[in-house]
Amino acid sequence: MKCGGCVRAVEQRLQQQPGVRQVSVNLLTRTAWVDLDPAVAGGQDPLPALLGSLESLGFPARPRESHPEAPGSRRERLQQLHWWQRWRQLVVALALLIISGLGHLADAGQLPWRGPWNLLGTPWFHALVASLALVGPGGGILRQGARSALAGLPSMDTLVGLGVGSAYLSSLVGWLWPASGLPCFFNEPVMLLGFVLTGRFLEERARYQTGRAIERLAELQPDQALLVFGEGPPRQVRVGGLRPGDRIRLLPGDRVPVDAVLLEGTSSLDVSSLTGEPLPQAVKPGDPLAAGGLNLEAPLLLEVQHSGADSAIARIVRLVEQAQARKAPIQGLADRVAGRFAVGVLLLALAVFLFWWLWGAAHWPAVLAGAAHGGHGNSTAPTTPLGLALQLAIAVLVVACPCALGLATPTALTVGSGLAARSGLLFRGGDAIETAASLSAVLFDKTGTLTLGRPLVTRLHPLTTTADGLDPADRLVQLAASLEQQSRHPLAHALLQEAETRRLVLLPLLESRAEPGEGLEGRLEGLDAAVRVGSLAWLEARGVDVAPGCPAQKQLEAGGASVLAVAVADQLLGLVAVEDQPRQDAAATIARLRREGLKLGLLSGDRRASVERLGERIGLEPQELAWELKPEQKLQRIVAQQANGAVAMVGDGINDAPALAAADLGIAVGTGTQIAQDSADLVVLGARLEGVVRALHLARRTMAKVRQNLFWAFGYNLIALPLAAGVLLPGFGLRLSPPLAALLMALSSLTVVVNALLLQEQDGQD
C-alpha cells in the first residue's frame, strides 16, 4: 500500500466479504486487523477468501505472525518485502534519469565531448530510454495503477501511471507525427519515474525507522538459552523450544529469555527496557522474572513459567501492535479525504486540460511565449494550447499526494506508541493517545495507586511492661505477629513484616479463630491465656478492659491509621497503628499534574481520616477528596466530572476495573497486561506513578506531530494543486513542470515521516 486511497480500497474490499464486522488498516505497518463474526463463517476458515479478495485487487497478503519475530526472521521478512527489488528499481531509474539528462545536454550542444556522444541527443535515443523506463522500473506502477482504476478505486499509482503514460504517449505521437502539435518531451516521463521511485525509496527507509519500536522490543528476547540437564553442563537451545518446567542457566550479561521463577542465586536485574525503572531490581530465590530483564551480577538458575510466545515481551508486543492498528478519531477526516482524493484529482486534471486547451491559452496567448528549454528537436516549453493543457494536466496528476494524507497520522502515532512502550507505557490505541492529549481532569484511586497497597506498622503504643526483660514494643509485635502468622489479611502482613524487621522469633501457633471484620483469637505455645488481636470494641465485648487504650486510639485514628489492639486474657497490652504508605513519587506526580492545569481528585472507599491524612501528605485539597465510596458512587463521580471534559481514572487495574472502563481514559498502574486488555486504555508498568505524567506529555507531543503533519499534508495539496493547474501562469508566467511536480510530491510524503521521527529526538533530549 502506498497512499490513503490504497487504505480505503483494502478496507472496502475486506468489508465486502461475508462475516467481516470491522476492519482497521494501517498504511505505515501495512497490516489489516479484521474482526470476524464466527456465526457467519459457519465453521469454515474465512482466511482464504480474505486473502483471495486482496490478491484480486493487487494487494497480496499473508497472515501476521502471532509471536515476536527473532532478528533472523526479521531479516527474512525484510527480504520478503523486496528490499533488493526496490534497490534495483531505484538504481535503474536513476541510471535512466542520468542518461536522459545527458541526452538533454547533448541535444542542447552543452556536452564537452564530441563523437558518438552526440547520439545521446537524438530523438530515437530518448524514445528508447523512456520506453525502457516504462517497461522496467515503471512497469509495476502502470500495472497496479490500471488494476486499481479498473476496480473503481483509483490510487496514487493510478495518478502517477496516468501522468507518466500520457507524457510518454504524447511524446511518441509528437515525435512520429509532428503535425499533431503534441509536445515531444521524452525526458519528462523518465524524470517523473526517477523522482517518484527515489521519493518512495527514501520514504520506505524512513517508514522502517518509524516502525522500529516493535523490533526493538522483540530484540529484548534472545534467540538462544542455556538449558540445564540434570548434573551435566548446560546446552544451548532455541528459546522457541523451551516449555514450562524446563530449567535454564542465566549468566551475567544475559537477558532473561522467557518468563521464569528464580530457583537459585541472587542478583540484580536491569528492567528499564520493559518498565522504564532506572534502578536495578534485586532478585532472590522465589521471585518471578519477566522476559527481557538484563542480569547484571551473578549466575542464576531459573525455571520456565511460560513459553516464548506467552512471555511478557510477547504480550507487550501484541499490545503495541494493537495500539498501532487502532486509529485515532482525528485520522477519520484524513482517511475520508484520502479515499476520495484520487477521483477528485482525476476530475481536476480533466478540467484543467479542457480549460487550457479550449479557452485559457486563447484568452492569455502570452502563456505560450515561454522560453524554450531545449529538447528532442522541439522545445519542452509548450507552443500549442494542446501541449500546454497536457503538461498542466500531467503536473496536476503527479503533484497530488494522498500519500502524505494517509501517512500523517499513523506515522506520528506509531512513533509515539513505540516510544511509550520503551518506557513501560502501553497505550491501547491511537484513540487512547488522542484522549490522553486532551484530558481536563485526572482522578485517582487510593489503595494500590497513590499508596503502595501494603500497610506498614507506623506506631506502637504499649500499655504494660514485661517481666522477662523484652522491650514492651517488641513483646507487643511478637504476640500479634505470632497470632497472625497464618493469616493472609493485609494487616497481618504488616505485623509480620514489622516482626521480621525487629528480628523477633515468632511463637508457635497452637490454634486460632477469626471473626471477619472484628479480629483474631487463638493460643500460642508458652501462654496459658488466649491472645486476641482486633478492634477495641471487639475486645471490650470479650471482657477486656479497654479504657486505658481509648485516648491513644482516638489520637492514632485521627492521623489516618488503622488501629489494632492486642490483649492477653482480659488485659490490654497495647495498640498497633498500621497505615498504608504513599508511593514515593505520589506527591511529585500530583504537583506536576496540577502545574499542567489538570483538575485532580481522589475517589476512595477507605475511611475519611485515612483519606484526609493521605491528601495532606501528597498535596490534594480537601474539596478534591472523596471517601467511603461504593463502586457505583465512584462511577457517578466520574460521569459528573465528564460533563466538564475528558476524564482519566488511575487505578490498580483490578478492583477499579468498572471505574477504569467508565472513564474516558482508564490508566492502570503496576498491573499485568491482561488487565490492560480488559479494562484500561493505558498501562503504566512498574511501580512508578510518575509514568502517568510522562504518558500524558508523550501523548501531547504525539498529537502535536499529528496536527503538524495534517496541516502540512492538507496545506501542501491546497497550494500545490492550484499551482500545478496554472493559476499563476497568466499573471506571473509561473508553472510547475511535471518533473518538478513529481519531486514536490515525493518530498511531501517524506516530510511527514521525518517530522514524526523527530519525536524520537525530542524524547532523547527530555
Please provide the DSSP assignment of 590-601 as one string. HHHHHHTT-EEE
φ/ψ (deg, to 5) at 145: -65, -40
Q: Which helix (H) or strand (E) holds 652?
A: none
3-state secondary structure of 563: strand
CB 364 within 8 A of CB 355: no
Task: Look at strands 665-669 and 451-462 and give their pairing.
Answer: unpaired
Joined together, the cell numbers standing for residue 467 give 517481666
Whether 652 sits among the annotated catalytic residues: the reply is no
Joined together, the cell numbers standing for residue 198 give 527515489
Q: How many residues make up the chain in this entry?
A: 766
Choose the catalytic residue: 254, 335, 431, 445: 445
Spatial neighbors of 602 by CB under 8 A, at least 6 apart, are 443, 444, 445, 446, 450, 611, 614, 615, 620, 624, 625, 626
Other residues' Cβ atoms within 10 Å of the Cβ of residue 454: 13
Can you tell me which residue has the cell 535503474? Answer: 92
Q: Which helix (H) or strand (E) holds 206?
A: helix 187-210
Q: How far is CA 52 from CA 55, 56, 82, 464, in A?
A: 5, 6, 21, 84
Nearest residue to 47 (alpha-carbon basis) of 58, 36, 31: 36
Can you tell me which residue has the cell 479478495? Answer: 53
Task: Look at strands 247-250 and 224-227 and give their pairing.
Answer: antiparallel
Torsion of CA 371, 377, 382, 383, to 10 degrees: 90
Task: Look at strands 260-264 and 300-304 and give their pairing.
Answer: antiparallel
Q: Show contacts of 51-55: CB within 8 Å, 24+ apart.
A: 53/13, 53/14, 53/16, 53/17, 54/10, 54/13, 54/14
Give CA–CA dist 124/375, Å, rounded: 12
Give CA–CA dist 739/163, Å, rounded: 10
Q: How far is CA 358 from CA 363, 552, 570, 726, 737, in A?
A: 9, 99, 111, 14, 20
Q: Which helix (H) or strand (E) holds 37?
A: none
Spatial neighbors of 445 by CB under 8 A, at least 6 apart, are 602, 603, 604, 649, 650, 651, 652, 655, 656, 659
Can you tell me which residue has the cell 503533484? Answer: 399
Please give the positions annotated as active site.
Answer: 445
